[in-house]
Amino acid sequence: MAITRYLSFVEEATHGTPVLTGGETIDPLSAEIEPSGDTTLIYEGASRLDKLVAPGPYINEGEISTAFDDKAFPWFIKWALGGYEVTGSGPYTHRFYPSPRALMQPFTVRVGKDIFEHIYSGCVVSTLGIEYDREFVNGNVEIISGRDSQQTVVEGPEFTQGNVYAGCNVTVEIDATDQSTYVETFTLNIETGADSESGITVGSRYPRRSFQGAVMVELEMTMSFFDTSQLELFWGDPAGPLGCNVGDFPMTIHVGDNVDIVLPRLTYTNVSIPLPGRDRIEQTVTARGLVAADGSGPVEFSITNDIESYTVTP
Distance, in Å, from the CA atom of 307 to the CA atom of 70, rounded to the nearest integer, reads: 10
Establish if 297 belongs to a structural domain. Answer: yes
Range of weakest confidence among 157-171, 213-227, 228-242, 274-288: 228-242
Kind of pairing between the strands at 117-132 and 177-178: unpaired
Establish if 314 belongs to a structural domain. Answer: no
pLDDT over 80 at 313, yes or no: no
Distance, in Å, from the CA atom of 137 to the CA atom of 193, rounded to the nearest integer, reads: 24
Establish if 256 belongs to a structural domain. Answer: yes
Establish if 43 belongs to a structural domain. Answer: no
Establish if 136 belongs to a structural domain. Answer: yes
By residue range, what is the domain housing residue 216?
5-35+54-305
Distance, in Å, from the CA atom of 58 to the CA atom of 120, rounded to the nearest integer, reads: 12
Domain count along the chain: 1
pLDDT in tens, 24-69: 999 999 999 999 988 999 999 899 999 999 999 999 999 999 999 9
Average pLDDT over residues 304-309: 96
pLDDT band at 100 (very low <50, low <70, confident <90, very high): confident
Establish if 311 belongs to a structural domain. Answer: no
Q: Percent of the chain having pLDDT more than 70?
A: 99
Establish if 44 belongs to a structural domain. Answer: no
Establish if 114 belongs to a structural domain. Answer: yes
Give every CB contact of residue 100 below 8 A, 6+ residues apart in sequence: 82, 212, 215
| pTM, entire model | 0.95
- Provide φ and ψ at 131, rounded to 5°: -135, 140
Give the distance between the most distant pair of CA atoms in the chain: 71
